[in-house]
Structure 1
C-alpha cells in the first residue's frame, strides 16, 4: 500500500515583499538607535545652553544691591522687596524659577511659594561656602532625570563686608523624555517616510535583478526545485557526477558515491582529490561523446557516458 502525505502551505511571500520587510526592519532599528542618540544629544545641548543662561541669571540676582542688603534679615513667608527681585530675574531671563536661601540653604524667597521653607538642592551646597555651582539638580525626592529635575545655578550672595549672607538660585526645569521625544517626532516621521520609500524602491529593484538571475523563480520555487532535483537523484539507479570547467565536483549522487567507493562527500573538491583510479580520472577529465566507455575498477565494470 502506498501511503500519501498531504502538506498544506500558506501563501508564499514574494522575494520583493521579503526584501521590503527586511529593509523596513533595518530602517526601524536604525531609527530607534538614532532616536536614542538624538535624545542624548538633545540632553547634552539643553544642559550646556541652559546652564549658561541660569548661571548668568543667578549671578545677576546675587549681585543685585537689594538682595545683598536685605537677604541677611529676610524671613520665610514675609514679603519684602526680595520677592520683586526674584520675580524680576525670572521674568527677564525667561527661566522657570528663582530662589534665595539663607546661609544654611533654607529657601526664604522663591517664585514658587510652595518651595519656601524647604532646603535647596544638595548638589549646589558648595555655594554656601563661597563656590558657585551650575549643573543638574534634583528638586524632589526623585533620583531619575524627570520633570522634577532641573538645570540649576547657585551663586553665593555677599554683603557689603564680603560675608556670605545667602545663596541666589535660578533654574530651568528639565524636559521629560516624552517631551523631548515629542519635539523630535516630526523629524523622525519624515526620516521614516523617506527611508521607507527608498527602501521599497531599492527592494523592488533588487528583487527584479535577483529574479532575472534566477530565471524568474521566487525563493520558494528555487527551494522546491532543489528538493525535486535531490529526490530525482536519490531515486536514480545510475550514478551521476557533475563537474565544472575547472574539474571541481559540483554534484555527486548517492549511487555515484557508492559505486566509486568514496569515503566522504566529494562535492566542492577537485576530481583529482577523490582518490579514484587513473582510468576513472582520465574518463572524468576527458569526457567523450563517442558513446559508452567501459572502465574496470576493482571488481566492477563501470559504463560511463557523458553529456
Structure 2
C-alpha cells in the first residue's frame, strides 16, 4: 500500500496523467476566477452605462423641466420617476433641485429630504458616475443635470441600481461558468486518459526511475561490447550504432537516420544488410576491413521493428589465416619434396648398386640443377625474404598439382618496400587463383610471376610504385567476369562445399585500395601465357635506389 501511495513509484503514464489533471484544474480555476472578475467588471460597466442613459433620458424629458418650475414638483415628478424606475428595472430614480432637495424617491417618506451623494460635477454641467452608499445601501449611480431652455441647470436627476441587484445578476452567470469549466475539465481528463494509456503502452508501465536506469544500463552495455551493433528501422535506416560499429563501418557524424547505401559502404554489403533475409556469419569487405556480419529481424509481440546487425572484425584473423595457409602449403610442399627426394635417393642408390654410376650421377645432377635454378632465380631477383619464401613455397605447391611456376628473369623487388602481410595477401591470392586456373587446362600448365619498380606520375608528382604481375595459361576471363573479378563473392569455382570462395581477389582489391594502389585485370594475355593477367601497383614510402 505504501508503494502504491508513493507518487515517485508510479508509472510514467500515471504521473503524466496526474500532472495533466493538476495543471488543467489549476488552469480552469485561474480561468474561472479571471472570467468571474471580468464578468463582474463588465456587469459594473454595463450597469453604469444603463443608469447614465436612463438619467439622461429623464433629464431630457420636457415634463421634468416643466415640473421643476412649479411650486410642488413632487406632484408630477414622483409618479413619473416611479414609472420610469419600474420600466427600466432600476432601483431608484431621484429628481432633485439644485439644493439637493428630493422631489421623488422610491421611499415617499424621504421626499423633501436632501440627496446623499456627490453632485458638484453635475451642478457644473457634467456627469457624476460613482459607487455610493445611500439610503438604499451601496449602489451604482449616475447624476446628470436638467437644463432649462436657456441652458442653465435647474435641477438634477440621479438613477441607480443597488450592488445587491448587480450581484444577483452576476450570480446568474456563475452556473454557466461552472458548467463550462466542468465540461472543459471532463474533456481534459478524457484526453489525459487517452494520452496516459498510449504512454503506458509505449513505456510498458515503467516509471521514470526505471526507464532512466534501463537506459543507463543499456547504453553502458551497447558501448562496452566488443562487437559492432547496428539497429535498422523497417525502412533500412540507421537507428542506433555503438562505438565499435561506427569504427568498423567508418561512420561519419551524420549517420543517424540514413540508409546503409548512403554511407559509402560497398554495394554487396549494403544490399545484404538491408534485405529482408537472415544473414549468418557472412564475410563482407569494407574499404579497410574484413567483417563477419550477422543480421536478424527484430520483432516485438509479432510487430516488425526493423533488424539487428552485429559486426565482428576479422581483418587480422583473415590475414593470419592467409599466412597460415601459405605456411601450411609450404609445409605440405616440403613434405612432398622430402618424399620425392627419398624416392630419387633410392633410385640413385639402386643405380649405384647396379654398377651404373654414370647414370646415377647424371640423374642426381639433373634433379639438383632443376631445383637449384628456381631457387637461384628467386633469391637473386627477389630481395624481399617474405616474397622469396612465398614464391618457393607456391612453386612446390604448383609442382604437386602439375603446374610449373616461373619467375620472370627481369623480376627485381627490393627488400622493405611493402608490408610483409600485404605482400602475402596480394601475391599469395593471385598465385592461388592462377594455379587453380592453369591446373584446369589440359596443358601446358604454367604460371608466371613478375615484379619490378617503376615511376608513376600522380597529382603530387612522380612517385615509385611496386608492380606485381601474375599470368597463367588458364582459360582466361571474359570482359564481364574480368570487370567483376575483384567483387566480393565472385569465383570461378563450382564446389559449393568449399568455404571462402570469392574472398581472395576481393582481399587483393581491398589491400590495394588501403595502400592507395590500383588493380588491373586482363581477361586474356599473350603467348605463352594466354590466360588472365593480374597487375597490382602499390606505392612505396621509401626512396628506391637504382
TM-score, structure 2 normalization: 0.40
CA RMSD of aligned residues (A): 4.5
After superposition, the Cα gap between the structure-2 partners of 1:223 and 1:268, relative to the gap in structure 1 and judged at 3 Å, is farther
SS in 1 for 2:245: helix
Structure 2 alignment gaps of length 5 or more: 1-5, 106-112, 297-546
Greater CA drift, 236-245 or 199-208: 199-208
Deviation at 1:64, TM superposition (A): 3.1
**Whole-angstrom distance in 1 between the partners of 2:157 and 2:273:** 95
**Whole-angstrom distance in 2 between the partners of 1:87 and 1:121:** 27
Aligned to 1:271: 260
Q: 2:9 aligns with which of 4, 7, 12?
A: 12
Which protein has greater RCO, CA pairs closer than 8 Å, 6+ apart? 1
**Whole-angstrom distance in 1 between the partners of 2:220 and 2:176:** 54
Structure 1 alignment gaps of length 5 or more: 1-8, 72-79, 128-132, 141-146
Q: Is 1:56 the equivalent of 2:63? A: no
After superposition, the Cα gap between the structure-2 partners of 1:24 and 1:101, relative to the gap in structure 1 and judged at 3 Å, is farther
Q: Is the 8 A contact 1:101 1:120 kept in 2?
A: no
TM-score, structure 1 normalization: 0.64
Aligned to 1:69: 69
Deviation at 1:230, TM superposition (A): 1.7
Aligned to 1:95: 91
Q: Is 1:169 the equivalent of 2:158? A: yes
Deviation at 1:270, TM superposition (A): 1.9
After superposition, the Cα gap between the structure-2 partners of 1:216 and 1:44, relative to the gap in structure 1 and judged at 3 Å, is closer
After superposition, the Cα gap between the structure-2 partners of 1:208 and 1:10, relative to the gap in structure 1 and judged at 3 Å, is closer
Q: Is the 8 A contact 1:20 1:204 kept in 2?
A: no
Q: Is 1:211 the equivalent of 2:211? A: no
Aligned to 1:120: 120
Q: Is 1:291 the equivalent of 2:288? A: no
Q: 1:28 aligns with which of 8, 18, 26?
A: 26
Deviation at 1:167, TM superposition (A): 3.2
Q: Is 1:253 the equivalent of 2:249? A: no
SS in 2 for 1:108: coil
Aligned to 2:38: 40
Q: Is 1:154 the equivalent of 2:150? A: no
Structure 2 counterparts to residues 165-244 of structure 1, below 5 A: 165-172=154-161, 185=174, 187-218=176-207, 221-244=210-233
Aligned to 2:408: none
Q: 1:302 aligns with which of 265, 283, 291?
A: 291
Deviation at 1:21, TM superposition (A): 2.7
Q: 1:271-295 CA deviation, whole Å, 9 max, x = no partner? A: 2222333444234234764531223
Q: 1:109 aligns with which of 88, 91, 101?
A: 101
Total equivalences in the alignment: 271
Q: 1:54-100 CA deviation, whole Å, 9 max, x = no partner? A: 533554466436851269xxxxxxxx966996899479724357464
**Whole-angstrom distance in 2 between the partners of 1:165 and 1:43:** 34
Q: Is the 8 A contact 1:97 1:170 kept in 2?
A: yes
After superposition, the Cα gap between the structure-2 partners of 1:48 and 1:253, relative to the gap in structure 1 and judged at 3 Å, is same
> Quick check: which has more Rg, 1 or 2?
2
Deviation at 1:232, TM superposition (A): 1.6
After superposition, the Cα gap between the structure-2 partners of 1:271 and 1:148, relative to the gap in structure 1 and judged at 3 Å, is farther
Aligned to 2:512: none
